[in-house]
Structure 1
Amino acid sequence: MEYRGTTALVTGASGGIGAALAEQLAARGAHLVLVARSTERLTALAEQLRAEHGVRTEVVSTDLTAPGAAEALRTELDRRGVRIDLLVNNAGMASAGRFAEIPASRTRTELALDVCALVDLTHAFLPDMVRRGSGGVLNVASTAAFQPAPYMAVYAAAKSFVLSFSRALWAEYRSAGIRVTVVCPGPVRTGFAVRLGTPQPEIGQLRTPAQVARAALDGYRRGRHTVVPGAANGLMQGIRFLPTRLVLAIGRRTLGRVLGTAHSPELTPA
C-alpha cells in the first residue's frame, strides 16, 4: 500500500500526534484534510505542508463533539469534491483523578470525542471505501486500552472500546480490501498534561509524536491490526495476563502516587 496520491483525513491535527501524522503523511505524498477546532493552527500547518511537500491540503475547523458533526463534515467534503482514502481518528482527550470528583460534563465530552465521534466518523466514511474496495481507518488508542486504570477509569475504558472496535473492523473488512489499524502509544511528549489539568501519569516508555506517527503509518501500510510503539511498551502489555486484583492494585498505587488528590477540572471554552 502506497500513500502517494491518496487523501487522508486527520482529526486532532492541530498538534501532538495528529500534527505528526499529518506531517509524515504529507512527506509520503498523501493529500490531506486537517480537522480540529483551532482554525489558526490548522491553517498554518496546511500552508507549511503544502509548501514543503507539494500536496493538496484542506482545512475544516469543527467541534467533533457537536451533534451531527461527522455527517456535517462528510457533507462539506462532498461539496468540495474531496474523497477520503484514509480516515485517521486521532482526536481525543483524557481525564484523571477520582471518578466522582471529575465534572460530569467533562466526562460526557470525553466519551463524545473518544468514542462517539470516532464511531460516527467511521460510519460516515467507511461505507464508500467498502463500495470502492479500497481505503482504510487508522485509530489512535493508548496502552491504557489493555487494562483498567484506576484514577483514569473513563479514559482507559474509552480506549479499550477503540481497541476492540478497531480489531473487530479489521476482521470484518480485511477480505474486502480495507485496512484497519489501531495504534496504542504509551506516554508521548505532547501537551497532554496541560489539557489533563493534573500531573501527567507516565507509565511506560516515553516516545515523541514523530516516533508514534512513524510506527503507526508503517504498521498500517503492512496491514497490522494493532501497533504498540516502543519495545518496552509492547512488553508492558504482559501485565494484562496477571490476576485482575493485582493489575488493579498496581494501577491504583502507581497512578494514585502521581495524582495525589488532583483531578481534571471543568473544560474551558476553546
Structure 2
Amino acid sequence: MTRYAMITGASSGLGLALAEALARRGRNLILVARQRDPLESIAIELTQRFGVEVLFRACDLGEPLRLSGFLLELEESERYIDLLVNCAGIRTYGPFLAQEWGDEQDLIEVNILALTRLCHALGNAMAVQGGGQILNVASLAAFAPGPWMSSYAASKAYVLHFSEGLREELRRTGIKVSVLCPGPVRSPLRRVPRLEKGHRALSPEEVALHTVRALDKNRALIIPGRRNRWLAFAPRLLSRWITRKLTGAINQAYSPR
C-alpha cells in the first residue's frame, strides 16, 4: 500500500520547505493549501525533482464544510496517510479590539479547530492502520502570553499543550505525536524586517531540515536553534507579570506598521 505524508499550508514558507525535505527523502505527498495554482506547480516540480507521487487539494481549512468534504474524500480514497503535518496557520498583529472579527475567527478556525479535527480524523485512521506520526506546528510564542498578538499566542499555546497531551494518550497505539515550536522564520510572504534584524531568523529550509531529523528520533518537542531553546525556557524563570510586560513590549516594537 502506498504511503503518504499530508502537509497543510504547503504552498509557501515552512510548509513548502517541509514538503521538499520529505520529498527529498522519497516520501509521497498530499499537499493542502487554499490556492490551487501554486499547489499544482509545486506538485509538478517535486515530482520531477525527486520522482515521488505528489497529490494536492485546494481547501480552505477555515471553512468547516469544505474541510468536512475534504475529509470525506480522504476516507473514500482509502489512501494510507502515515504522517500528518499540520502547518497551516494564520497570524494577526496589533490590539485585539482593533482587529476585524472575521480575521480573529479565521485564526481560531484554522489554528485550533481545523488542526484538532484533522488530528481526530487521521488519528483514528492511523490507529486502525496500526500506527503513524503527527507533527503539529506551534511557535515559540506558545510559551508565554503575547500581548498585541494575543489570539495568535493563545492558539499556539493550545497547539503545544494539545500535542503533548495527545502524545501521551496515543503512545500505546503506535501513533507518534510531535510539536514544532520555531522562532521567527524568514518568509517572503510574512516578513517582519525589524524582528529579523534583531533576532536572526532561520530560513524555512533550516527549520525543515532540523524538523525531519527530529521526527526520525521521535522528539516530543522540536525547537530549532539554541537561542530559541533558551527563549522557550526563559518564561519559567520569570514572574508571569514580568513575562507579560516583556513580550508585550517586544510585540509592540516589532509588529508591522
TM-score (norm 1): 0.89
Q: Residue type of the partner of 1:218?
A: R
2:45 paired with 1:68: no
Q: Give 1:205 shift.
A: 4.0
Evaluate the alpha carbon distance shift between residue 116 and residue 86 of structure 1 in structure 2; reply closer, same or farther with a 3 A threshold.
Answer: same
State yes or no: 1:174 paired with 2:171.
yes
State whether structure 2 residue 155 is matched by structure 1 residue 158: yes
Assess if the C-alpha contact under 8 Å between 2:3 and 2:79 holds in 1. no
Q: Contact 1:138–1:181 at 8 Å: present in 2 too?
A: yes
**2:100 aligned to which of 85, 103, 117:** 103
Confirm or deny: 8 A CA contact 2:144 2:247 kept in the other structure.
no
Matched ranges for 1:223-242 at <5 A: 223-241=218-236, 242=238
**RMSD across aligned C-alpha pairs, in angstroms?**
1.7
Query: Deviation at 1:236?
Result: 1.1
CA distance in 1, matches of 2:194, 2:79: 38
Q: Give per-residue Cα distances to partners, 1:31-53, cap 9 Å, x unaligned.
A: 00010011110001100111111
SS of match in other structure, 1:96:
coil
Q: Give the 3-state SS of the residue equivalent to 1:176 in structure 2.
A: coil
Contact 1:148/1:248 (CA < 8 Å) preserved in 2?
Answer: yes
Query: Number of matched residues?
Result: 254
- Aligned ranges 1:1-270 → 2 under 5 Å: 6-193=3-190, 201-202=195-196, 204-241=199-236, 242-259=238-255, 262=257
> Quick one: which amino acid aligns to residue 225 of structure 2?
G
Whole-angstrom distance in 2 between the partners of 1:69 and 1:121? 13
Is this contact kept in 2: 1:204–1:233, CA < 8 A? no
Q: Check the 8 A contact 1:181/1:219 in 2, yes or no.
A: no
Q: Matched residue of 1:207: which SS?
A: coil
3-state SS in 2 of match to 1:84: strand
Amino acid paired to 2:114:
A
Structure 1 contact 204–236 (Cα < 8 Å) conserved: no
Paired with 2:211 and 2:130, the residues of 1 have a C-alpha distance of 22
The Cα offsets for residues 78-127 of structure 1, whole Å up to 9 and x where unpaired, read as 34442211111000010010111111110000110100010111111110
In the alignment, structure 2 segments of 5+ residues that lack a partner are none
Provide the rounded CA distance (Å) in 2 between the counterparts of 1:130 and 1:187: 34
Q: Return the TM-score normalized by structure 2.
A: 0.93
Q: Give the aligned residue type for 1:162.
A: V
Q: Is the contact made by 1:192 and 1:200 (CA closer than 8 Å) also made in structure 2? A: no
Structure 1 residue matching 2:30: 3-state secondary structure: strand
C-alpha contact 2:60 2:67 (8 A) present in aligned 1: no
- Structure 1, unmatched stretches of 5+, are 263-270
Contact 1:26 1:32 in 2 (8 A): yes
